[in-house]
Amino acid sequence: MDERTRADVERAEAAIVEHYPRLVRLAYLVLPPSMGRHRRVLTAHALVQRALPRARLRRPDGGLPAQRGPAAEAGYDLVRLRTLRLALAYEGRAGRGLPVLPQVWGLRLFPRAGGAEELALDQALSAVPASVRATLGLWHLEGLDEDAARTVLEEAGAPAPDLAQQAAGQLDREAGAGAVGLLNSGEFDPCTVQTRPTDLLRRRQRLRAAAALGAVLVLGATAAGLWWGAGDRPVRPRTVAEQALDPARLVRTPNDRWADTAKVDFTAWPARGRQAGDRELLGRALRVWAAPPADARITAAAGTSTRPPDHPPQLLYAGLIDNVMVVVFHDGERLVRYAEPEDATPTLHFARVDGADLTGGAALVIGRGNGWMRYLLAPWISEITTRDLLAPGALPHGLHVAPDGVTDRIATPPAPGGGCGRWPVARFRPSTRVVENAAHGDDATFLLADLDDLVPVHLLYVPPPSAGGTPANGGPHEATGAPALRSWARTACELGALRGTGVRSVTDWAFAEQDLPGGAGRATWMCTRADTWRGPGSVTLRFLAPAARPADPGRIAGRAADTAACSRFGPHAVGEIHWRAGTGKWYLLAAGSQDVGGLTATGGVRASGDGSTLAAPAAPGAPATVTGRLRSGVSVRAFGP
């Protein structure tokens, strides 16, 4: 630590006392956001208090004491420089312990939350180096110009001050004219803080665990003394379960494995995130997974096990997402996301991903909030855009992706009961290193939709028979072309019923087209099939008459659960519905897929005909049973409601 004359130290002390909130705010801004707000607050206060230099024991001139004069600003410059040096030194080592002072036991401290603009600026600051944050602090908190700020940065030991100022200028332009006010807001004020208790149950459990550990150590020491006399004995090897909880044994895939493997799925993801080397955090996440505390929140997609790890899992991510520490593991069958908010209990989210491929392993939901979410992208995704399924003619919007693969916030579909005015989805383009023709056109792109699970849902499309479409003929197409988008605009709102059910993919199959009586136009019969990660699927049959609005949902004609219908294992479909023409006359309409050669209606309506469509006059709601005849002679019953 630098030593100064006693007069220098007294001026520095006066500067710290007078400008303490100003210095702490600067230190808080420069410290790595990955530390979490509680530790940043404590560390910022500690660094400013440690910025006071030591006094020399002897006077520098060997005689008269240093003269006291109006040098308060020089004292401030000194403590500001020392504060910056200490804060910059924390870059890349946010997981280390706090300074000795101050310490707060049993409480969590964090500045008051700001609005959307403050949060957006905080997220932007978390993605740049400390030298860039220091530059913005010197400009907007200290009022220095570029030359003066560069001098301070050089003296503080910041790397590449010119590059830091360029990056700060770019971020400043993106933040707009309000950056000064935002940095001076309560969001970045570590002297005006809120307090919350730590996890009380977990604290009690830790005290009990510490007492138990002390007892074990005493017994262990006693046993060691007894064994000492008995000679050396072999050390008991750790069990498989113990090894699974060791952060040092986590599987870490090399960064470029995804470009040189025939298995392009979650096993090819490298470990990413600023806390990927934080063993304390990783160990804590593994322990909560193995033995969740009583107050932990646990969410699992349908059919997904929440069992503890039985072998060392693969690490996919560890870092700070919207002020929440997040860790994601992959155990070969499941994804497990551990979330550790600063002022709340931990959460675990489980999802099955066995059998994932290039599209099923393209992204996972790394963070979620009120009306928004973020994806963590696979390393083979070269571009992501967003669009509204209910607006098929609108152009997609570009989306920024951080270097670690985390996207900007994406709007989520309306909550249940909130209507269906929009349905955001994301379009993904893979790298040419895994898909050769991915650079241009829509053929290689694909759509994923968030349905409140950890893994988004793949949207697919099978065109009508007039375009050569059938589930058994080459499989479904990607839902990125104009016909697919027009189809999905009419069926998107049906996705809301699939939230949280562990769905892997949803396919729209236009299995029939039918000319309506009285020249009312041409209708489409749609079978929407949802396949889950665990295997079973469900279908919804929909009748889509010509409509004035692109997003008109049509009418539901039938449903079925746990069925192979409308898949390559059940490539035949028949639907029926009562329909009222513009003249007021009612009809029973029926249609079958391409291999249906005839239809018969019995019950309250009796009619039959060759071909794959049928229109017969019928009383409204008259009960009818419709059966299709395949050209092979096999009968197929129409779906019921």
Residues 6+ apart with CB under 8 A from 307: none
Q: Are strands 457-462 and 372-377 parallel, antiparallel or unpaired?
A: unpaired
For residue 109, the cross-strand partners are 195
Among 9-23, 454-468, 540-554, which stretch is predicted with the lowest mean pLDDT?
A: 9-23
Q: Report whether pLDDT(378) > 80.
A: yes
Which DSSP helix (H) or strand (E) runs through 39?
helix 37-50
Q: What is the pLDDT of residues 351-362, one digit of tens each?
A: 999 999 999 999
SS3 at position 251? strand
* pTM exceeds 0.95, yes or no: no
Q: Has residue 178 got a pLDDT over 90? A: no
- Predicted local distance difference test score (pLDDT) of residue 58: 44
CA distance 526 to 555: 10
Per-residue pLDDT band at 105 (split at 50, 70, 90): low
Higher pLDDT, 527 or 12: 527
Which residue, 165, 140, 148, is CA-closest to 73? 148
What confidence category does residue 527 fall into, taking pLDDT thresholds of 50, 70 and 90?
A: very high
* 401 or 37, which is more confident: 401
What the block records as the tokens of 443 is: 């053929």
Of the listed ranges 439-448, 520-529, 567-576, the one predicted with least confidence: 439-448
CB atoms within 10 A of CB 12: 24
Task: Grade residue 237 by pLDDT with cuts at 50, 70 and 90.
Answer: low
Q: Which range, of 17-26, 99-108, 488-497, averages the lowest pLDDT?
A: 99-108
Looking at residue 197, its pLDDT comes to: 63
Please tell me the predicted confidence (pLDDT) of residue 59. Answer: 43
- The answer to whether residues 387 and 427 touch, using CB atoms and an 8 Å cutoff, is yes
Question: 257 is written with which tokens?
Answer: 């494995």
61 pLDDT band, cuts 50/70/90, is very low
The pair of structure tokens assigned to 58 is: 């002897």
Asked if the model's pLDDT at residue 232 lies above 60, the reply is: no
What pLDDT, on a 0 to 100 scale, did the predictor assign at position 624?
A: 92
Summary mean pLDDT of the chain: 84
Mean pLDDT score, 171-180: 72
- Identify the band that residue 196 occupies on the pLDDT scale cut at 50, 70 and 90: low
Confidence label for 191 from pLDDT (cuts 50, 70 and 90): confident
pLDDT at 64: 38
As a whole-number percent, the residues of the chain with pLDDT over 70 amount to 82
Q: What is the pLDDT of residue 244?
A: 84
The CA distance from 301 to 305, in Å, is 9
Residue 60 confidence (pLDDT) above 50: no
Q: Decide if pLDDT at 1 tops 50.
A: no
On whether the CB atoms of residues 447 and 359 are closer than 8 A, the answer is no
List the single range of 197-211, 257-271, 312-326 with lowest mean pLDDT.
197-211
| Nearest CA among 48, 62, 56, 61 for reference residue 16 | 48
Burial class of residue 142, CB neighbours in 10 A (0-12, 13-18, 19+):
middle
How confident is residue 230, by pLDDT bands cut at 50, 70 and 90?
Answer: very low
pLDDT in tens, 427-483: 999 999 888 766 666 668 999 999 999 999 999 999 998 776 676 666 789 999 999
Per-residue confidence band for 3, with pLDDT thresholds at 50, 70 and 90: low
Closest CA to 544 of 573, 582, 571, 509: 509
What's the Cα-to-Cα distance from 214 to each of 224, 280, 379, 474, 524, rounded to whole Å?
15, 21, 46, 65, 72
| C-alpha–C-alpha distance, residues 128 and 385, integer Å | 23
pLDDT of res. 67: 39
What is the arithmetic mean of pLDDT over 138-162? 89
pLDDT at 595 over 50: yes
Scored b (16 or more CB within 10 A) or e, 292-308 reads: beeebeebbbeebeeee
